[in-house]
Amino acid sequence: MFIIEDYSLAVVFTIITMLCWGSWANTQKLTSKDWRFETFYWDYVFGIVIMSLIFAFTLGSSGNNERSFLEDYHQADSQNIQSALIGGVIFNAANILLVSAITIAGMSVAFPVGIGLALVIGVIVNYLDNPVGDKTLLFLGVGLIALAILLNANAYRKMQSGNSSVSTKGLILSAAAGILMGYFYKYVAASMFPDFNVPEAGKLSPYTAVVIFAFGILISNFLFNTYLMFRPFEGKPVSYGYYFKGSPKNHLMGILGGMIWCIGMSFNIIASGKAGSAISYGLGQGATIVAAIWGIYIWKEFKDAPKGTSTILNVMLGCYIVGLGLIIAAR
C-alpha cells in the first residue's frame, strides 16, 4: 500500500485534506434550490463509500509485501472493526447536524463554529491518545483557533441582530456538530496499526479503516437521516419517493460532494502515520478557512452585515492562519 515517508509530504496531504473538507459543501449549493439537504445527504454518503472502495482497491492494495485490502479486512479483529464503525456513526451524527447548520446559517458560520470546535476538541483528544509534537506550539495554535470561533460567532450575531431565532438555531446546531465531530477521529485512529510500515496482526491498514468507517456512516444513515427526513429541523417532512424524483445533476452533486470529502479523509489518515493523529487532524480541520473564504467572498453570505463585521471576519481568518502555522511548527 502507498504510505508517506516524510513530514513535508504529510503536510501537503493535510493541505489537500483542508481543501477537500472546506470545499465539498459547495456541491450542496450547486443543487436545485428546491432539492432538500436530507436527500442530498444520501448521495453524499454514497459518494463517501464509493471513494473509500476506490482507494482501498488501488493504493490500499498496491505493492508486493503488504496485505491487500481484502486480506487486511479478513485478518482484522472484531474490536478494531467495531472501533472504525463507531467512528463512522459518530461522524455521521455530527455531519448531519453540520449540514443542517449550513442550510440554516451558511458556510461562513457553520464551518468556523462547528469545525473550529471540532478542531479544538479533536486535537486535545488525539494528542492525549498519541502525544506527538511540541504541546506548547500545538495548544497555542488551538487557542488562536478557539479565538477565531468566538470572533465568527460574534460576526454572525451582528448580522442576525434582527432575527435572533435563526441565529440561535444555526449556532446551536454548529456547536453540537463540533462537539461530536471532535471525537470520531480517535476511534478510526485506534483501529489502525500505529506504524504503517509494519502491518500488525488484528489491526487495520489506513485504507481498510476508512472503508469500515464509510460503512459505519452508511449503516447509521438509515437511522439518522430517515428520522430527519420525517422530523426535519426546518421545512416539511420529505419522503423517499422525493429522493427518486431528483434530477441527475442533483444526485451527481451529492455523490461528488461525498467523494471530495472522502479524498480529504483518506489523505488525512495516510498523513497521520508520519505527522501523528493530533497534528494531522488539526491541520485537516483548517478546512474552516477554506469554507469561510467560500462563504464570505464567493457566496457573499455577509454582504448585508453591519459596518465593522468585515474587520471581525478578517481578524478571524488571521487567527486561523497563524494558529494553523503553529500547529505545523509543532511537529
Average pLDDT of the chain to the nearest whole number: 88
Asked if the model's pLDDT at residue 6 lies above 50, the reply is: yes
Average pLDDT over residues 186-207: 93
Is 105 a residue whose pLDDT tops 90? no
Q: Are 233 and 169 in contact (CB under 8 A)?
A: yes
Asked if residue 328 has pLDDT above 50, the reply is yes
pLDDT for residue 260 is more than 90 = yes
Percent of the chain at pLDDT exceeding 90:
50
* CA distance linking residue 322 with residue 189, whole number of Å: 26
Q: Side-chain half-sphere of 255: how many Cα atoms within 13 Å?
A: 10
For range 48-60, the mean pLDDT: 97
pLDDT in tens, 82-101: 999 999 999 999 989 988 88
- Above 80 in pLDDT, residue 286? no
Average pLDDT on 131-155 reads 85
Per-residue pLDDT for 108 more than 70? no
Distances from the Cα of 86 to the Cα of 30, 35, 179, angstroms: 31, 30, 15
Q: Which residue has the cell 457553520?
A: 110
Is the CB of residue 204 less than 8 Å from the CB of residue 80? Answer: yes
Question: Is 194 within 8 Å of 206 (Cβ atoms)?
Answer: no
pLDDT score of 75: 96
pLDDT at 176 over 50: yes
Residue 231 exposure: Cα atoms within 13 Å on the Cβ side: 3
Amino acid at 196: F
Q: Is the pLDDT of residue 160 over 70?
A: no
Answer whether residue 223 shows pLDDT above 50: yes
> Which of 25, 14, 63, 31 is closest to 246 using CA atoms?
31
